[in-house]
Amino acid sequence: MDMKKNYKQSKTLWGSKVRKELNEFAKSYTYSFPFDYKLYEEDIGQSIAHVQMLEKGKLIKHKEKKKFLNVLKNLKKEISQQIKLNKFKTNKDYEDIHTYIEKKVTEQLGDVIGTKLHTARSRNDQVSADTRLYIRKNGVGVAGLLTELIHTIHNLAEKHKYIIMPAYTHMQLAKPVYFRDYIRAYSEMFKRDMLRIENCLGRLNFCPLGSGAVGGTHYRTINRKFIAKELEFSDYIKNTVDAVSDRDFVLEYLFVLSMIMMHISRLSEDFVMWSSPQFKFITIDESFMTGSSILPQKNNPDVCELARGKTGRVYGNLMGFLTVMKGLPMSYNRDMQEDKEALFDSNDTVITTLKVYIELLKKLKITDRNKENMMNAIKVSKGFANAPRYVDYLVEKGYSLRNAYEFVSRLVHYCTLNDLDFDKLEDSHIDEFINNESKIDRKSIKYLRQYSKKSGIRNFIKTGLRACSFNNYLRTGSRKRHTTLGNSAVSDVNKQLTQERKEIRNIFKQIQHTYSTRLP
């Protein structure tokens, strides 16, 4: 019997003379090679470490190991080249990347040596290891892109550090803030995303190899610690049932990617709104905008819209795979193969989104016209944006916060009823308001008298309103006080930025140092 020929007849790892060939429909339904070929580097890397362990355990000879190493390294080069040239074929002959690699090795080394590659391992521990290595590599990559994105945000904050813009809550003008504080809210979010990546990699960086299909292997000479170290995992997974059963690490990564997209999506929503003719707070470079096939005046923020849209599919991947996992009995089940497309899709989507956003932000402009529009948006509030400052002013004069709030609310209400600007009240209006106050709330008049001292109630209100006016803040506030328009004084910003930049560099260095590894 020609063993070599017989083996070649079956392209699966489990095929044999006595089994029927898999049905064609069943083949295309179950085979993952068309997408999991992306794990080739990880699979070859772990195979290299594996043969080293096999030799140590005297399960293969030194000569055989050398042959394996040679073939595996060449195979890696070959696949990478074919992928680059778009020539890599993921045809139906192979069930998955693990099968492909073993078959290719066996084609070159023959059955007797080639099939030894699978000694002391199963595709169940193999696929878990590959996926962990893949996420580790890509997690570092995503953290790198986040670093660049944050860096770009910091540059924008520095460049436009004096720009004042309206801040909204409930989509209604709340108060003026500095652009630098607004945009750095996003760098803070992305910083936490980086920390989430670090955290997630910390939990997944354990080696399942040596667990076999489930519950370990029967070879006494395998060294799980050794292979874990070779692949730069922190340690090996002690429980060999857990090692092949869970995909919580995939889900966690999918969650972190979803969170990144959620942040990008909110930024996109801001940009869609603010680049629109109704707002015109920012100018997105034309090379990131599209025209309309029928409306010549249109300049559409498609990149931002698509980033917002793609967030949906990244969430979908997370929700979909969470659902896959929820009812699985222990231990490995083929359902788990569904993690790959979700993982690759979310990973690629986040990477391309971050890349395009870095470029978009680098070219983002805030023109004089944009600045003017931001100012006008604050001013159209009829001065009501000053109301919160007026409350604080009264508190500083000795009012209790509740009394100050109540008093200012009534002044706002008076202005609204009479269609008056909060920051442009005439003496006659103030008098009328005081008159109303005395009818509504005697205590209020008592306070006003107490705090106005000798200047008189009308003057006390007038001085307060002037002190809290937006123009007054523009003139003196930002220099005089530490917390004025936003939450940082101009003089502190450079220091803060230096600190923030340093922090981001350190976080990335730490991630790189711990998790960016070279596969064998």
Q: How far apart are CA 163 and CA 281, in angstroms?
A: 11
* Closest C-alpha to 268, from 312, 317, 302, 315: 302
CB closer to ligand ARG, 58 vs 334: 334
Q: Which one from 16, 292, 409, 438 is the annotated catalytic residue?
A: 292
Span of 122-130, 151-159, 298-306, 502-510 interacting with ligand ARG by CB under 6 A: 122-130
> Least distance from C-beta 245 to ligand ARG, angstroms?
12
For residue 292, indicate whether it is catalytic.
Answer: yes
CB closer to ligand ARG, 98 vs 175: 98
Tell the burial category of 145 from Cβ atoms under 10 Å away from its Cβ (0-12, 13-18, 19+): buried
Full 3-state SS string of 376-429: HHHHCCCCHHHHHHHHHHHHHHCCCHHHHHHHHHHHHHHHHHCCCCCCCCCHHH
Q: Is the dihedral of CA 431, 433, 439, 442 positive or negative?
A: negative
How many residues bind to ligand ARG according to rule CB under 6 A?
10
Q: Which one from 170, 287, 293, 513 is the annotated catalytic residue?
A: 170
Q: Which residues pair with residue 351 across a beta bridge?
A: none
Q: Does 96 bind ligand ARG (CB under 6 A)?
A: yes
Could you say which residues in the range 277-336 bind ligand ARG, by CB under 6 A? 332, 334, 336
Q: Which of 11, 76, 118, 123 binds ligand ARG (CB under 6 A)?
A: 123
> Least distance from C-beta 122 to ligand ARG, angstroms?
7
CB closer to ligand ARG, 34 vs 141: 34
Interface characters, 163-192, with ligand ARG (x: CB under 6 A)? ------------------------------
Q: How far apart are CA 34 and CA 40, in angstroms?
A: 12
For residue 151, indicate whether it is catalytic.
Answer: no
Q: How far apart are CA 239 and CA 206, in angstroms?
A: 11
> Least distance from C-beta 123 to ligand ARG, angstroms?
4
Could you say which residues in the range 27-46 bind ligand ARG, by CB under 6 A? 32, 36
Q: Does 246 bind ligand ARG (CB under 6 A)?
A: no
CB closer to ligand ARG, 179 vs 253: 253
> Least distance from C-beta 127 to ligand ARG, angstroms?
4
Q: Is the dihedral of CA 82, 87, 93, 95 positive or negative?
A: positive
* Closest C-alpha to 508, from 260, 140, 209: 140
Q: Which amino acid is at 297?
A: Q
Q: How far apart are CA 102 and CA 366, in angstroms?
A: 57
Q: Is 310 helix (H, G, I), strand (E, B) or coil?
A: helix
Rg from Cα positions in the chain: 32
Could you say which residues in the range 325-364 bind ligand ARG, by CB under 6 A? 332, 334, 336-337
> Least distance from C-beta 348 to ligand ARG, angstroms?
18
* Closest C-alpha to 342, from 263, 259, 258, 243: 258
CB closer to ligand ARG, 123 vs 196: 123
Q: How far apart are CA 190 and CA 379, in angstroms?
A: 32
Q: Which amino acid is at 358?
A: I
Span of 46-54, 123-131, 251-259, 474-482 interacting with ligand ARG by CB under 6 A: 123-131
CB closer to ligand ARG, 40 vs 332: 332
Task: Quote the DSSP letter at residue 172.
Answer: E
Q: Does 154 bind ligand ARG (CB under 6 A)?
A: no
CB closer to ligand ARG, 31 vs 399: 31
Interface characters, 101-120, with ligand ARG (x: CB under 6 A)? --------------------
* Closest C-alpha to 125, from 303, 331, 270: 331
Q: Which of 22, 48, 101, 127 binds ligand ARG (CB under 6 A)?
A: 127
Q: Which pair of tokens denotes residue 183?
A: 């945009």
Return the active site residues. 170, 292
Residues near ligand ARG, by CB under 6 A:
32, 36, 96, 123-124, 127, 332, 334, 336-337
